A = this chain, B = another copy of it.
Amino acid sequence: MESITLEKAASLLSEKDNILILMHRSPDGDTIGCGYALCLALRSMGKKAQAVCSDPIPAKYSYITDHVDEQSFDPEYIVSVDIAAPQLFGEGLSGYVDRVDLCIDHHGSNSGFAKYGFVDPSAAACAQIIARLIDLMGVETSSVIADAIFTGVSTDTGCFKFSNTTAETYRIAADMIDRGAQGFMISRLMFDTKSRSQLELEKLALDTLEYRCDGKIAIITLTTEMMTATGADDSETEYITSLPRQIEGVLVGITIKQKSPELCRISVRAAVGTDASAICSVFGGGGHKGAAGCSIEASPDEAKERIAAAAAEVIGK
């Protein structure tokens, strides 16, 4: 992949037409915000453009997707947004893996699958890059584009709360509000709304909370039985995953999600100064210092003992 400047990316896009924009599988607010914002910007330049994903876009993003109709055309130029590696295309889009002309991303780990790429790991959200790109293309940001960019920026920073949040993140949010983004509606929808099943699961999860190492480790267990009983789906466990680390004095927060009788997926969240990925690497997993994951082939009880032992080792207890 040849690294190019964002100016070059803007001029490449300005020259092309019939542009297909690929979003990653299991789409989140950032890839959706990027895909739709770029699509609308290109269309406002008189081009044909379409943003596509191998998975359905969740209904809660309808305030964006309702404003973008389907266009059919033979793709002549293919752009990926917020996609770090080929396995994130998903089955429906796997045919495009070797055909990507331009990759716009903010993952430092980007595998370089495209012809040209602009990757800026300092951007908290890929939507920050798309906001700059749209400005460079000379397109006026409509209120729907502003909603899309705001969504990407706010969701990828956990509502401006994660360590990736920079001054530019806040400035882009401000600019999008000025251009009509519905900041309050989006924040309430993304960060201040829970389903009944999610709340039921949270209640059951809190009942399993255990402390180890004088409260430096906190562990929550979600069994398949609990998922079935509450009807919660996997996306609804995200919030719970962050719970044990939030507890005062906890250095390592662990969530054990049982996938089958003898298989557990483990999420580890660590306080500043503690390395979650070091704990997960013991079991062949990985991630970042603050957040990492791994799988353990064992029952929840046994998986708990193994991951707790690894965590205790890493924090030196």
Residues of A whose CB lies within 8 Å of any CB of B are 159-163, 165-171, 173-175, 177-178, 183-185, 187-188, 191-196, 199, 202-203, 206-207, 209, 215, 242-243, 246-249, 272
Contact = CB atoms under 8 A, between A and B. Distances in A.
B166 A177 contact: yes
Given A171-B170, A171-B171, A199-B206, A184 B159 contact: no
A206 B209 CA distance: 15
B174 A168 contact: yes
Contacts of A209: 199
B163 A195 contact: no
A191 to B, nearest CB: 6
Given A170-B170, A196-B247, A188 B203 contact: no
A125 to B, nearest CB: 14
Contact of A170 (B163, B177, B247): B177
A178 B167 CA distance: 6
A207 B215 CA distance: 24
6 contacts: A163-B184, A169-B174, A188-B272, A193-B246, A196-B215, A196-B248
Contacts of A215: 196
Contact of A202 (B184, B188, B206): B206
Given A199-B247, A203-B206, A248-B196, A162 B184 contact: yes
Given A160-B173, A170-B170, A188-B161, A247 B194 contact: yes
A170 B167 CA distance: 9
A289 B209 CA distance: 36
A242 B187 CA distance: 14
A167 B177 contact: yes
Contacts of A246: 192-194
A185 to B, nearest CB: 8
A34 to B, nearest CB: 20
A202 B160 CA distance: 25
A37 to B, nearest CB: 18
Nearest to A197: B248
Contacts of A161: 159, 184, 187-188, 191-192
A163 B161 CA distance: 17
